[in-house]
């Protein structure tokens, strides 16, 4: 019977065992050979001795990563020979016979070396070797446990797991699709779903009360450190007869807080997850996905400077903008060149420059202090409760620019001063996203998140709104340490509102019927109100396991160019295959 190495062998002293595994390391003393044998449970030392091992010469041929089977006897080591660095260090296996199951060439990377981890491209090219590392093995097992926790949670709450098609339809809004040509229907295409959005809404019409799925989603957009290229996984869910997003939030919140505390062993910054509106998020943190592990709020100073002598600030306010500031504790420690670097960041975000005050030796030191009155300086300090050693950074510009600049600086300062505790997780629900948004590239009003949300106030809200951009949707994101991990909404289940929401953007009913025919049809036949959301599972797992690159938590990720360097995909295909599809 085959035994696992780390788990079984220590319990089998003086017994004969058959072991299989990889040669992890060899120490050849000529007349005596030690092999560390490795399997998925760990290592055990094999001893090859001419006196006890048949065909001892074969052991001399062993090299790293050979796959072998040995028969031998587990023996307790003498006290002086024990190795307390190894869980199996109190025993060893005296080998009687050896069988080489497979040989290995010298490895192109050294996966087991901590000092010289190969660059990521090589690790991905030889991912099957990289996966032999203990860290990656642990990740894979932990990820399976993560999925089980999630499934158990959903099942307990009577969600039904339903899979939806991978060959689906191109969706008009949103990310770039992956297209799949149809062989049977020449000239027509399937698209891989960016999310099972429409299918899950149709399941609601189909009488499913609560649906969930660990869904594969496909998007052809450039990746980031926290965003995979191509395919990724979402916990997708939807609930019928729900008209308020708060219901969804309350059902799902304990899953995430439980994953943080019980699964990842981390501490929640706040025991209950706060709700802030999109508007509050922008105005207080300069971001719709703020990291709430640290405070550093954006504070409005416009009333202080509206009549100021300092033209830069005053003009921003009288021009319709505003002046805001953040307090950076211990900011006086920043060097001139560091401040220059932060100034460059501010400029990249659209600021004209970066004004600041340093509170040092009981006085305010700053290149701009001389333009400000004593009252102004006092008022600013008091409002920010700025103390000795603090620095105050300003932005004076339009509403959008001020919040974008200070929001960026807020996270940059936090990174510089290590304000985010890595053992802590801050969750927040950002609610009430705008239904429409201004699309600067195309100079027109567009859907904010997606066209499937229910505007607050229903069809009247769209018809009566003087400013379309003021319409709010019952739409919400969950944010974890500054990462968007969930997005959801109360859906629009009413065809009339659907037509109206598109009409407000200038689309006629024909357009809507063409793009969303299936949904519109279905909604005619007694569609229940429904709401739901989708969690980005790879990204959550990344945060829970302290990784800062999402590819570290995926077995076979594609690289930043969308290439699988191990499988060499994408690749050319046989012309015969193409001609079957009607291609050239």
Binding to RNA in span 2-61, by CB under 7 A = 25, 27-32, 34, 36, 45, 47, 49-51
3-state secondary structure of 59: helix
436-465 binders of RNA (CB under 7 A):
440-441, 446-452
First to last CA, the chain: 57
Instruction: Map 72-132 to HEC letters.
Output: EEEEECCHHHCCCCCCCCCEEEEEEEEEEEECCCCCCCCCCCCCCCCCHHHHHHCHHHHCC
**Is residue 569 a contact point for RNA (CB under 7 A)?**
no
DSSP 294-326: S----EE-HHHHTT-S-HHHHHHHHTT-EEEEE
396-425 binders of RNA (CB under 7 A):
none
Query: Contact with RNA (CB under 7 A): which of 64, 412, 424, 513?
Result: 64
CB of 102 to RNA, least distance (A): 15
Task: Give the CA angle between residues 146, 147, 149 to the nearest 5°.
Answer: 65
Compare residues 10 and 89 and give the one whose CB is closer to RNA.
Answer: 89
Judge contact between 550 and 484, C-beta under 8 A.
Answer: no
88-117 binders of RNA (CB under 7 A):
89, 92, 106-110, 113, 115-117
Tokens of 236: 């997708």
Helix, strand, coil percentages, rounded to 5, for the chain: 35, 25, 40
Closest CA to 269 of 289, 293, 291: 293
Compare residues 223 and 331 and give the one whose CB is closer to RNA.
Answer: 223
Rounded-to-10 torsion of CA 275, 281, 285, 289: 80
Query: Contact with RNA (CB under 7 A): which of 20, 40, 73, 77?
Result: 77
* CA–CA separation, 535 and 233 (whole Å): 8
Strand partners, 69: 20, 99
Q: By CB under 7 A, which span of 83-91, 378-386, 395-403, 459-467 interacts with RNA? A: 83-91
Supply φ then ψ for residue 74, to 5 degrees: -80, 125
CB of 305 to RNA, least distance (A): 28
CB of 467 to RNA, least distance (A): 19
461-490 binders of RNA (CB under 7 A):
487
Q: By CB under 7 A, which span of 119-127, 129-137, 261-269, 412-420 interacts with RNA? A: 119-127
Compare residues 13 and 225 and give the one whose CB is closer to RNA.
Answer: 225
CB of 167 to RNA, least distance (A): 17
Compare residues 285 and 447 and give the one whose CB is closer to RNA.
Answer: 447
Task: Give the CA angle between residues 276, 278, 281 to the nearest 5°.
Answer: 65
Compare residues 343 and 450 and give the one whose CB is closer to RNA.
Answer: 450
536-565 binders of RNA (CB under 7 A):
549, 551, 559-561, 563, 565
* CA–CA separation, 338 and 171 (whole Å): 46
Query: Contact with RNA (CB under 7 A): which of 16, 54, 76, 81?
Result: 81
142-171 binders of RNA (CB under 7 A):
171
Compare residues 440 and 467 and give the one whose CB is closer to RNA.
Answer: 440
Supply φ then ψ for residue 319, to 5 degrees: -85, 5
Number of residues that bind RNA (CB under 7 A): 72
Compare residues 100 and 107 and give the one whose CB is closer to RNA.
Answer: 107
**Is residue 86 a contact point for RNA (CB under 7 A)?**
yes
CB of 173 to RNA, least distance (A): 4
CB of 495 to RNA, least distance (A): 18
Compare residues 55 and 186 and give the one whose CB is closer to RNA.
Answer: 55
Angstrom CA distances, 139 to 136, 224, 384, stand at: 5, 21, 44
171-230 binders of RNA (CB under 7 A):
171, 173-176, 194-195, 197, 219, 221-227
CA R_g for the chain: 30
Q: Is the dihedral of CA 228, 232, 235, 236 positive or negative?
A: positive
Neighbour-count burial of 480, counting CB atoms closer than 10 A to its CB (0-12 exposed, 13-18 middle, 19+ buried): buried
Compare residues 196 and 331 and give the one whose CB is closer to RNA.
Answer: 196
Judge contact between 488 and 473, C-beta under 8 A.
Answer: no
Compare residues 106 and 184 and give the one whose CB is closer to RNA.
Answer: 106
315-374 binders of RNA (CB under 7 A):
none
């Amino acid at each position: 019977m085959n035994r696992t190495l780390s788990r079984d062998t220590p319990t089998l002293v003086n017994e004969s065992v058959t072991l299989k595994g990889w040669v992890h390391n060899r120490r050849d003393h000529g007349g005596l050979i030690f092999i560390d044998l490795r399997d998925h449970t760990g290592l055990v030392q094999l001893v090859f001795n001419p006196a006890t091992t048949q065909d001892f010469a074969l052991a001399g041929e062993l090299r790293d990563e050979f796959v072998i089977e040995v028969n031998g006897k587990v023996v307790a080591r003498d006290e002086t020979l024990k190795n307390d660095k190894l869980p199996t260090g109190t025993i060893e296996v005296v080998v009687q016979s050896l069988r080489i199951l497979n040989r290995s060439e010298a490895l192109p990377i050294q996966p087991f070396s901590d000092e010289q981890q190969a660059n990521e491209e090589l690790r991905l090219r030889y991912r099957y070797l990289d996966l032999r590392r203990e860290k990656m093995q642990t990740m894979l097992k932990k990820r399976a446990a993560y999925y089980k926790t999630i499934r158990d949670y959903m099942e307990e709450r009577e969600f039904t797991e339903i899979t939806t098609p991978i060959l689906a339809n191109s969706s008009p809004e949103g990310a770039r699709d992956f297209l799949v040509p149809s062989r049977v229907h020449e000239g027509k295409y399937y698209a891989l779903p960016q999310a099972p959005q429409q299918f899950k809404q149709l399941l609601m019409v189909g009488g499913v009360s609560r649906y969930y799925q660990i869904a594969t989603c496909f998007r052809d957009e450039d990746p980031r450190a926290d965003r995979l290229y191509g395919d990724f996984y979402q916990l997708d869910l939807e609930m019928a007869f729900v008209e308020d997003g708060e219901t969804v939030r309350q059902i799902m919140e304990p899953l995430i807080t439980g994953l943080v505390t019980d699964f990842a062993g981390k501490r929640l910054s706040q025991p209950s997850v706060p709700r802030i509106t999109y508007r509050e998020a922008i105005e207080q943190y300069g971001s719709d996905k703020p990291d709430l592990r640290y405070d550093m709020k954006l504070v409005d100073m416009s009333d202080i400077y509206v009549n100021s002598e300092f033209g830069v600030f005053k003009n921003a306010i009288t021009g319709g903008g505003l002046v805001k500031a953040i307090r950076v504790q211990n900011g006086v420690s920043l060097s001139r060149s560091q401040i220059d670097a932060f100034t460059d960041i501010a400029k990249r975000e659209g600021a004209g420059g970066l004004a600041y005050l340093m509170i040092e030796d009981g006085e305010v030191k700053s290149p701009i202090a001389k333009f400000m009155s004593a009252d102004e300086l006092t008022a600013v300090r008091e409002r920010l409760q700025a103390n000795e050693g603090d620095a105050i950074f300003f932005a004076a510009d339009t509403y959008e620019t001020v919040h974008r600049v200070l929001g960026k600086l807020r996270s940059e300062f936090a990174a510089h001063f290590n304000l985010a505790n890595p053992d802590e997780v801050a969750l927040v629900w950002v609610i009430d996203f705008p239904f429409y948004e201004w699309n600067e590239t195309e100079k027109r009003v567009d859907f904010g998140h997606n066209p499937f949300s229910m505007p607050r106030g229903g069809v009247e809200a769209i018809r009566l709104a003087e400013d379309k951009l003021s319409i709010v949707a019952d739409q919400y994101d969950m944010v974890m340490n500054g990462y968007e991990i969930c997005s959801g909404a109360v859906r629009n289940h009413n065809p009339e509102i659907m037509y109206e929401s598109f009409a407000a953007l200038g689309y006629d009913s024909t357009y809507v019927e063409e793009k969303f025919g299936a949904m519109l049809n279905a909604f005619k036949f007694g569609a229940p109100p429904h709401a739901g959301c989708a969690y980005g599972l790879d990204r959550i797992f990344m945060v829970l396991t302290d990784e800062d690159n999402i590819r570290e938590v995926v077995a076979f990720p594609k690289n930043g160019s969308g290439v699988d360097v191990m499988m060499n995909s994408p690749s050319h295909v046989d012309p015969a295959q193409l001609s079957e599809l009607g291609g050239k």
